[in-house]
């Protein structure tokens, strides 16, 4: 079998490894000067916005909800198809996820359905820029302004994406990023919150480090039962190196995505993702395959691709179909037909900057071969 091609792989060079090693040798490896430098660099990248780093994109979302004023019993509009964290964080702050279906090709929140889902208890809309394809920001913020609700952008996939020439996170209400290894840049684990006015920045600081405050003499008080979400200097040093290369990573991802469209677009085997424009950072390339019609299961397809050395991911299930959300009143999965179909049919093909053009052709050849021999 040929060398295995995973669906995602971080791009970390030897210089970055040496930079991290220097931090390890310094003896100061928890939050310190490199966290401050990384936050400053992210702020510059995002046009001067306030930025705070945390330990994950999930932590960023949970803290952002609290800092935006979402409280127990509030409703938060969430895409019915996303990673489970999108709904989990809402539940963790005591709020209720209000699921709305997604568009079939963009996989983004269907904004046409959002106004009808806004009730007096809804406090925020939390869209996902799926795979790095920006949601229609003008339409989103028009809806939010009309109904007086907050916007917390789940930009876990979207570091490096732009909307009409402006970086996601450089404008709007609140945006939360993930730096997990399968994202466009990584700090191993980590995330960030970018925000403008109307966000309780003191609450963010308290939430990410135990609710501690110190007076001028260094005396400690705890004014809130905060968490422990501060990023390490080790992670921040890697983040600095990754951020320097992010534009190059993004450009290569776009080239690879375009190659997939060239290879699959004439006679696609299923439903291709929305192509978007040059603002799409292409964190993933997902394809919908009608497994019921093909006479094979997704697990069989993944196994067959794996036998040909191709790793295939699944992003993501329909959240209302998951056990933790299945029993919420009036939240049955059949109410979200696009999310349910994506949950059944989605497969994620390999996409990362160090892939060669020939790797894309190899993936597509393997895909066609598997589908041709499915019976």
- Encode pLDDT of 207-252 as tens digits: 999 999 999 999 999 999 999 999 999 999 999 999 999 999 999 9
Q: Which helix (H) or strand (E) holds 78?
A: strand 75-79
**Is the peptide bond preceding residue 239 cis, with omega within 30 degrees of 0?**
no
Spatial distance between the Cα atoms of 140 and 311, rounded to a whole number of angstroms: 35
Give CA separation, 89 vs 5, 107, 231, 243, in Å: 32, 20, 19, 26
- Return the pLDDT at 332: 58
According to the model, what pLDDT value does residue 257 have? Answer: 98
Can you give the pLDDT at residue 49? 98
SS3 call for 252: helix
Confidence of residue 4 (pLDDT cuts 50, 70, 90): very high
pLDDT at 12 over 50: yes
Q: What's the average model confidence in pLDDT over 107-116?
A: 98
Contacts of 169 (CB under 8 A, 6+ apart): 46, 49, 153, 155, 158, 159, 175, 177, 194
Instruction: Give pLDDT, residue 1.
Output: 43
Q: Kindly report, residue by residue over 325-368, the tens digit of the pLDDT.
A: 987 755 555 799 999 999 999 999 999 999 999 999 999 999 99
Task: Give the distance from CA 37 to its chain's centroid.
Answer: 23
Percentage of residues in the chain having pLDDT higher than 90: 94
Report whether pLDDT(289) > 80. yes
Considering the candidates 15, 37, 146, 183, report the single residue annotated as catalytic: 183
> For 118-232, where are the alpha helices, taking DSSP H only?
137-147, 201-208
Q: How many CB atoms lie within 10 A of CB 26?
A: 14
Residue with tokens 């919150």: 193
Look at the block and give the residue holding tokens 């192509």. Answer: 275
Helix (H) or strand (E) holding 214: strand 212-214
Q: Say whether pLDDT at 121 is over 60.
A: yes
Residue 165: partners with Cβ closer than 8 Å, 6 or more residues away = 279
pLDDT tens digits, one per residue of 154-163: 999 999 999 9
pLDDT value of position 326: 87
User: Once rounded to an integer, what is the mean pLDDT over residues 284-292?
Assistant: 97
Query: Does 202 have pLDDT greater than 90?
Result: yes
Report how far residue 150's alpha carbon sits from residue 65's, in angstroms, rounded to the nearest whole number: 9
- pLDDT tens figures, 158-195: 999 999 999 999 999 999 999 999 999 999 999 999 99
Q: Could you identify the residue written with the tokens 């019609």?
A: 293
Would the pLDDT of 130 be above 70?
yes
Task: Tell me how far apart the alpha carbons of residues 203 and 197 are, in angstroms, rounded to a whole number.
Answer: 13
Determine whether 183 is an active site residue. yes
**Summary mean pLDDT of the chain:** 96
Nearest-CA neighbor of 210 among 223, 221, 226, 230? 226
Domains along the sequence of the chain with CATH: 14-239 (3.40.640.10), 246-372 (3.90.1150.10)
What's the rounded Cα separation, in Å, for the pair 294 and 260?
Answer: 21
């Amino acid at each position: 079998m040929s060398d295995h091609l995973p669906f995602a792989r971080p791009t970390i060079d030897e210089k970055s490894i040496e930079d991290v090693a220097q931090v390890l040798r310094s003896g100061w490896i928890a939050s310190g000067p490199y966290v401050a430098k990384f936050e400053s660099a992210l702020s510059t990248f995002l046009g001067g916005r306030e930025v705070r780093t945390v330990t994950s994109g999930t932590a960023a979302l949970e803290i952002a909800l609290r800092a935006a004023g979402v409280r127990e019993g509030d409703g938060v509009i969430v895409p019915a198809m996303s990673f489970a964290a999108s709904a989990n964080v809402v539940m963790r702050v005591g709020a209720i996820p209000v699921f709305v279906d997604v568009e079939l090709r963009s996989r983004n929140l269907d904004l046409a359905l959002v106004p009808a889902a806004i009730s007096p208890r809804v406090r925020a809309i939390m869209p996902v820029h799926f795979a790095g394809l920006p949601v229609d920001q003008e339409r989103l913020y028009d809806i939010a302004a009309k109904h007086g609700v907050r916007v917390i952008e789940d930009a876990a996939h979207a570091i490096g994406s732009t909307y009409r020439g402006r970086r996601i996170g450089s404008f709007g209400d609140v945006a939360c990023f993930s730096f997990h290894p399968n994202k466009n840049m990584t700090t191993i684990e980590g995330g960030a919150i970018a925000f403008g006015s109307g966000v309780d920045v003191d609450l963010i600081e308290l939430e990410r480090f135990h609710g501690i405050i110190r007076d001028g003499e260094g005396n400690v008080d705890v004014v809130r039962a905060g968490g422990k979400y501060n990023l390490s200097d080790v992670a921040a040093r890697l983040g600095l190196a990754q951020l320097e290369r992010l534009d190059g990573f993004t450009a290569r991802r776009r080239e690879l995505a375009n190659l997939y469209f060239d290879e699959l677009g004439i006679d696609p085997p299923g439903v291709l993702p929305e192509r978007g424009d040059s603002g799409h950072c292409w964190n993933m390339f997902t394809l919908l395959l009608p497994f019921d019609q093909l006479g094979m299961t997704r697990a069989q397809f993944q196994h067959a691709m794996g036998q040909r050395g191709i790793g295939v991911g699944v992003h993501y299930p329909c959240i209302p179909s998951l056990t933790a959300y299945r029993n919420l009143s009036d939240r049955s999965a059949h109410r979200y037909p696009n999310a349910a179909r994506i949950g059944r049919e989605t497969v994620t093909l390999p996409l990362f900057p160090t892939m060669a053009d020939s790797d894309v052709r190899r993936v597509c050849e393997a895909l066609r071969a598997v589908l041709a021999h499915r019976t």
